[in-house]
Chains A and B, each alone.
Chain A
Amino acid sequence: MKIALLSDIHANRQAFATCLQHARAHGAEQFALLGDLVGYGGEPAAVVEQAMALAAQGAQLVLGNHDAMALAPPPAPRDRSELGAQWTHDQLSPAQRAFLGALPLTARLGASALLAHASADTPAQWRYVEDSGAAERSMDAARQLDPAIRYVFSGHVHEQVLYFLTPTGKLMRFAPEPGVPIPVPQHRQWLAIAGSVGQPRDGDARAMYAVFDDAAATITFHRVPYDHLATAAAIRAAGLPAFYAERLEKGL
């Protein structure tokens, strides 16, 4: 079965809808949302509504740090990332907040995969999986949870990366080419970062997500163009900091 992995949607309704449509067109039958449904973006309520609909159809979800922040906004924002938390909180209905509040930090996807927004190593710390060392710690934590776990799927760092253990036990980092199904056989250990649906930061404005095919044992990373200017306009219309809109326009 093909399972679409979507992370860091960040209240970007257009990017989310475009990725879902793209994934269905490419045969995805199930969805896993890897956290940060909200934050930065201008349409948190619409995105959470869509996520709730997917959850009702069996999608797996985990909590992200921005989701947690929207549930309990910091009284005095320390930086730009915290600026909109109170606004997001106020946009969400009590039912939507309750839905976010019930999301787990990690979740299993079948017998062999683990979902975690950031590192699976003490997930509540939201550690960034930025290099091979961090990836190794996350994979170790997953293996300790259950040796049957061969795949860890995460987000949080807003880029698409595949980490893998070589036959000699060394952890390697691989930058995937979009659209290429990469063999990820189950006898090895893999950590895939799906990238960000709603807030790419690599200078390319296209949305990112990945599709895991458990039967074929492949993972395909995708880059999908969407109407990012409309999203930026929605952010400005909502009265959120202009920086949130500008970074979407530039993909930074």
Chain B
Amino acid sequence: MKLLAPGTEIDGFRVGECIHAGGMAHIYAVEYAQAGRSPGFAMAMKIPRMTAGDGAENIVGFEVEQQILSVLSGPHVPRFVAAGDLMRLPYLVMEYVPGETLQDWLDKTPLPERSAEQIAALGAATAHAAHSLHQQNVCHLDLKPANVLVRADGSAVLLDFGLSCHAHYPDLLAEEMRKAVGSPAWIAPEQVVGVRGDPRSDIFAIGVMLYEMATGELPFGAPTTAGGLRQRLWMTPVPPRKHRADVPPWLQEIILRCLEPGAAERYPSAAHLAFDLGNPGQVLLTERGARTEGTPIGTHLRRWVRAAGMHYEPSPLPAHQIEDTPIVMVAVPHDDVTDATLYSLRQAVARSLGIRPGARLACVTVVSPSASSASDSERSETTLQRQHMARLRQWAQGIDLAGHPVSYHVLEAGDVAQALVRYAAGNHVSMMILGAATHGLQTQRFIATVPMRVARDAPCTVILVKQALPFAQLDRG
């Protein structure tokens, strides 16, 4: 389709300049033709290069994008405005999001200037965006640097849903995908063999992007043959630290975990990935993080044999899958708290983790900023932090944490309830456990207490734990 002249009107939209001429589509700035009408944000119109005249089947990716974008919501996707009839005049009008893509960032940032913290922040923003998509039962399946837009505030917006998969819609691409359309450099191994709809495929793609940001190299190159694509079914990429010695072990650990050939070995959800990227100091380091040499050929050969049997398997619903491996948060009080309460909290956490293999635990305590003192070294901020961290670790010692990643966090805030709720929202926590009568509550019968406010405002399930009976009985005696 040839370029539209500025000023052309389409279904009530006035076309402005062409912002982007891609291989599949042109993108124009547009506004409503009607004077004074505005949605409150800038708009862009995407028009496929193929038209209905080329056969509707050629624009199936465009059809998929129309269907999926129109039902997605939240800050991590461009807002949907309108869609044209696919047979008559295919177009898609959506929010124009200002920002630069990760590809722009890669192009303009020389390797030595990319810090691990910067890479982690970009990766975490992408993972948060992917998680928001997975919660809506959609897998993106074509994440790559050109499809991740970073806003000025650091949050990410995902673009281009032409290869995406909605778990509750018939998958128009199910057949085609057996031949692995997609972007060869970033596609996950299971996509190569035709699996569509596993959110962990998006985690793999984020791993490829992190690898690219950290080393300037693609972990599996950009294969052009089917055999080249299948390599990732068995191959462990060269460790990033071999490319660049100053990649910290925690970042390598995260990257290589994302790039595990078996989806079950990767992070169980993008929220877990974002969590590790946001807490480098608490990443559980394994041999993966320390590696500086490639995998021996014998190991690869064994995996190659095993990979030969990989075939198409349906996946569970994304939203179910990520709920199965939740992030559980426990608010551990430090002031004015009885042993019985601490004991009961520990019991509740152990029970909650016990029925959820793979769940991660975040132990959080909130301290008042006024508690620290700049002059008194006993009460200096770092000393207090250290003391609270040690208390949290000690508290958690009684819990059987086999198989559960755990981390400890000391938050500084005046408003305890608000700090807990914000932490839960920011980390996609699925369940928060806190004492029903903690955080200085007894004295506050007539005002909104911390547990009440948390229960009301938290974006997740809240379990209020009552003090265990045996202790109360003992006290009475």
Q: Does A78 contact B (CB under 8 A)?
A: no
- In B65-92, which residues have CB < 8 Å from any A CB? 67, 86-87
Assuming A183-B67, A187-B87, is B60 touching A167 (CB within 8 A)?
Answer: yes
Q: Does A125 contact B (CB under 8 A)?
A: no
Q: Does A162 contact B (CB under 8 A)?
A: yes
Q: Does B39 contact A (CB under 8 A)?
A: no
Closest to B170 in A: A174
Top 3 A-B residue pairs of the complex, sorted by shortest distance between their CB atoms:
A167-B57, A174-B170, A180-B168
Question: What string of 1s and 0s marks CB contacts (under 8 Å) between A164-207 and chain B?
Answer: 10111010101011001011011100000000000000000000
Closest to A186 in B: B87
Q: List 22 A-B contacts (CB under 8 A).
A: A162-B170, A164-B170, A166-B176, A167-B57, A167-B60, A167-B172, A167-B176, A168-B57, A168-B176, A172-B171, A172-B175, A174-B170, A177-B167, A180-B168, A182-B168, A182-B169, A183-B67, A185-B63, A185-B86, A186-B87, A187-B56, A187-B86
Chain A hits for B170, CB < 8 A: 162, 164, 172, 174, 182
Binding site for B on A (CB under 8 A): 162, 164, 166-168, 170, 172, 174, 176-177, 180, 182-183, 185-187
Distance (Å) between the CB of B70 and the closest chain A CB?
8
Interface centre among A162, A170, A180 (most CB of B within 10 A): A180
Chain B hits for A166, CB < 8 A: 172, 174-176
Distance (Å) between the CB of B445 and the closest chain A CB?
41
In the bound complex, CA of A186 to CA of B63 (Å) = 12
Chain A hits for B60, CB < 8 A: 167
Closest to B61 in A: A167
Distance (Å) between the CB of A28 and the closest chain B CB?
21
Told that A166-B174, A174-B170 touch, could you supply 6 new A-B pairs with CB distance under 8 A? Answer: A166-B176, A167-B172, A172-B170, A172-B174, A183-B169, A186-B87
Distance (Å) between the CB of A41 and the closest chain B CB?
32
In the bound complex, CA of A198 to CA of B314 (Å) = 32
Distance (Å) between the CB of A241 and the closest chain B CB?
38
- In B233-250, which residues have CB < 8 Å from any A CB? none
Distance (Å) between the CB of A132 and the closest chain B CB?
12
Chain A hits for B172, CB < 8 A: 166-167
Closest to A168 in B: B175
Chain B hits for A177, CB < 8 A: 167-168
Chain B hits for A162, CB < 8 A: 170
Chain A hits for B168, CB < 8 A: 176-177, 180, 182
Interface centre among B86, B167, B171, B172 (most CB of A within 10 A): B172
In the bound complex, CA of A164 to CA of B172 (Å) = 9
Chain A hits for B169, CB < 8 A: 180, 182-183
Question: What string of 1s and 0s marks CB contacts (under 8 Å) between B134-177 and chain A?
Answer: 00000000000000000000000000000000011111101110
In the bound complex, CA of A164 to CA of B174 (Å) = 12
Chain B hits for A167, CB < 8 A: 56-57, 60, 172, 175-176
In the bound complex, CA of A186 to CA of B172 (Å) = 14
Chain A hits for B57, CB < 8 A: 167-168
In the bound complex, CA of A172 to CA of B176 (Å) = 13
In the bound complex, CA of A172 to CA of B169 (Å) = 12
Question: What string of 1s and 0s marks CB contacts (under 8 Å) between B193-231 and chain A?
Answer: 000000000000000000000000000000000000000
Distance (Å) between the CB of B347 and the closest chain A CB?
37
In the bound complex, CA of A177 to CA of B316 (Å) = 13
In the bound complex, CA of A164 to CA of B87 (Å) = 18
Chain A hits for B175, CB < 8 A: 166-168, 170, 172
In the bound complex, CA of A47 to CA of B174 (Å) = 42
Distance (Å) between the CB of B71 and the closest chain A CB?
9
Closest to A190 in B: B170
In the bound complex, CA of A195 to CA of B249 (Å) = 56
Interface centre among B56, B168, B174 (most CB of A within 10 A): B168
Distance (Å) between the CB of B132 and the closest chain A CB?
19
Chain B hits for A187, CB < 8 A: 56, 86-87
Distance (Å) between the CB of A177 and the closest chain B CB?
5
- In B295-315, which residues have CB < 8 Å from any A CB? none
Interface centre among A180, A183, A187 (most CB of B within 10 A): A183
Question: What string of 1s and 0s marks CB contacts (under 8 Å) between B107-137 and chain A?
Answer: 0000000000000000000000000000000
Chain B hits for A170, CB < 8 A: 175
Chain B hits for A186, CB < 8 A: 87
Chain A hits for B174, CB < 8 A: 166, 172
In the bound complex, CA of A183 to CA of B87 (Å) = 15
Distance (Å) between the CB of A59 and the closest chain B CB?
28
Chain A hits for B86, CB < 8 A: 185, 187
In the bound complex, CA of A187 to CA of B170 (Å) = 15
Distance (Å) between the CB of B161 and the closest chain A CB?
13
Distance (Å) between the CB of B73 and the closest chain A CB?
15
Closest to A170 in B: B175
Chain B hits for A168, CB < 8 A: 57, 175-176
Interface centre among A167, A168, A185, A186 (most CB of B within 10 A): A167
Distance (Å) between the CB of A135 and the closest chain B CB?
13
Chain B hits for A176, CB < 8 A: 168
Question: What string of 1s and 0s marks CB contacts (under 8 Å) between B267-282 and chain A?
Answer: 0000000000000000
Interface centre among B57, B169, B174, B176 (most CB of A within 10 A): B169
In the bound complex, CA of A176 to CA of B168 (Å) = 7
Distance (Å) between the CB of B189 and the closest chain A CB?
24
In the bound complex, CA of A164 to CA of B173 (Å) = 12
Closest to A181 in B: B71
Distance (Å) between the CB of A29 and the closest chain B CB?
23
Closest to A180 in B: B168
Chain B hits for A180, CB < 8 A: 168-169
Chain A hits for B63, CB < 8 A: 185
In the bound complex, CA of A164 to CA of B86 (Å) = 17
Closest to B167 in A: A177
In the bound complex, CA of A177 to CA of B170 (Å) = 11
